[in-house]
Amino acid sequence: MGSPLWVFATLYLSFKFVVVRSFTFPCNERPVYQTFINVHDDDTYDWFLLSRRKSLSRTIPFIVSGCIVNSVPSLTFAGTSFKEDESMFGIGNDEVSSLVYKEMLGAGSFKTVYMVEGTLGKKYALSVQKLRGKDDVRDALQGIQISDYLQEEMKKTGENGNLFEKILAWWIQPTALSDFGSDKSVFPNTLSLTQRTHKVPKKFLGSKWLVALKPLYDIDLKHFSQKFPQRYPVGTQFVHNLPRGYVLTIALHLCHAGRLMHKAGVVHRDIKPKNIMLSDGIPVIIDFGFSRVVNNIGKDGRICVSEPGRVRGEASYVLATDVKESKGCQEGDCYAMGKSLYEFIFGQALNGSSSKVSITVEEAEHRNSMFLSLLEDHHSVQSSRFMLSEGERLLLLEVIRGLCKKTSPLSFREAEMILCNGMGKIQY
């Protein structure tokens, strides 16, 4: 018998070998890529606004498509571990009635998002949407149902559901919320609580409101890019000193999430920087209101949603062929993801972002052509917001250009494999 220390070391290494070898498979036999981000309690990550929560000191390997691509701080979102029998809405009335406003995170014509706080300091994102008619109800409920559907699909396949937005609780109510005010109660009386329902309204006299409680994420890619507009020549060190390979890891996570989404038959139709959040360094795809689940996959393996006379998504990220055919297909998701990655990494695209919801085929073709020309412009991809080596730059460009190609673009699966293989070859 050896010493207790020797026995412990032997058991630990045996366990580590069995577990890691059982759950990680090198992509095409390439070396497994791994980066560890060691985060301690006193660290603050100003670069994606982690001031709202503290990081923990331990890290957990994050496995994507057979590659250990990153480790991230282990954090539990507030409110994700409610008991199933607390209520049919996923969260008890006591917790809801205790919510107080902390901050307004964003506001549009019909939807507002607040940061709210519950018992024991738990923070959430509270989304409040005014329902003007049946179309609003359809999109809002589709978004909730598809979020839940993806979470169930991820559980079945053992994949990471944290890559997609989670809905902790939702309901429809006949009254508006109380006016916003810092530390003011969201529900000063019980009227809206007792009238919470999942029933779809048939009449909209006086309007209805859909309220959804979600995890509080850190920042979306659009606001991240606005916060850090500076760009640095490839090969120089980013001022905030992000870990080597971080940007490639983000791209790999997003391509993996896209592959899982399409594999489940979901076409998002509204991918853009604003709908990609960062949560403890990991991207999360949100807002499935325009998404649909496609049950009948075409003979060519494509998944498309047809809505004659309607095109979903933001004009700056719409693919011209989708506009022409009044469809939303997987290629449109891939194009929008490629463009979002370009703007996040290399800078704002020429035509920028737009809240415009209608677009002609000619305008869409012009926007697509302008962006593809920008991708081929050597000067537009020589600087980045991040610390990139020349090898990283070329790999990212290969994927972005591939996702956005006019003919035979890359699928998310193909882009994921290119990244996985390429990341194993890069020398740091």
- Whether the Cβ atoms of residue 100 and residue 183 lie closer than 8 Å to each other: yes
How many other C-beta atoms lie within 10 A of the C-beta of residue 61?
15
Pairing of strands 67-73, 282-285: unpaired
Task: Please give the structure tokens belonging to residue 113.
Answer: 């998002």
Q: How far from each other are the two terminal CA atoms of the chain, in whole angstroms?
A: 42
H-helix or E-strand spanning residue 140: helix 134-157
Q: How far apart are CA 13 and CA 96, in angstroms?
A: 46
Q: Whats the size of the chain, residue-wise?
A: 428
What is the share, in percent, of the chain residues with pLDDT greater than 70? 70
**pLDDT of amino acid 371:** 93
Q: How does residue 161 score in pLDDT terms, banded at 50, 70 and 90? A: very high
Q: Note the pLDDT tens digit of each residue in 171-214.
A: 888 888 888 998 999 988 765 566 777 877 776 656 788 999 99
- Chain center to CA of 56: 22
Query: Given phi > 0 = left and psi -120 to 50 = alpha, else beta, which region is 364?
Result: alpha
Average of pLDDT values for 114-135? 90
| Alpha-carbon distances, residue 149 vs 142, 166, 304 (angstroms) | 10, 10, 18
Q: Note the pLDDT tens digit of each residue in 206-261.
A: 678 899 999 999 999 999 888 887 777 776 544 455 677 889 999 999 999 999 99
> Got the DSSP string for 86-113?
S-TTSS-HHHHHT-EEEEEEEE-SSEEE
- Chain center to CA of 24: 24
Q: Which residue has the higher pLDDT, 405 or 133?
A: 405
Classify domain 219-423 at the CATH topology level: Transferase(Phosphotransferase); domain 1 (1.10.510)
Residue type, position 365, single letter: E
Which top CATH class is 93-214? alpha beta
Least confident of 110-114, 205-209, 323-327, 396-400: 205-209
Residue type, position 99, single letter: L
Q: Where are the domains of the chain?
A: 93-214, 219-423
Least confident of 2-6, 158-162, 281-285, 300-304: 2-6
In the predicted structure, residue 53 carries a pLDDT above the cut 70: no
Q: Note the pLDDT tens digit of each residue in 14-29.
A: 444 333 333 333 343 3
In the predicted structure, residue 111 carries a pLDDT above the cut 80: yes
In the predicted structure, residue 277 carries a pLDDT above the cut 60: yes
Q: How does residue 347 score in pLDDT terms, banded at 50, 70 and 90? A: confident
Establish how many alpha carbons lie within 13 A of residue 417's alpha carbon, considering only the half-sphere containing its beta carbon: 7
| Alpha-carbon distances, residue 30 vs 175, 265, 412 (angstroms) | 57, 29, 19
Q: How far apart are CA 37 and CA 39, in angstroms?
A: 6
Q: How far apart are CA 32 and CA 26, in angstroms?
A: 5
How many other C-beta atoms lie within 10 A of the C-beta of residue 425?
11
Q: Note the pLDDT tens digit of each residue in 367-403.
A: 999 999 999 988 888 888 887 888 999 999 999 999 9
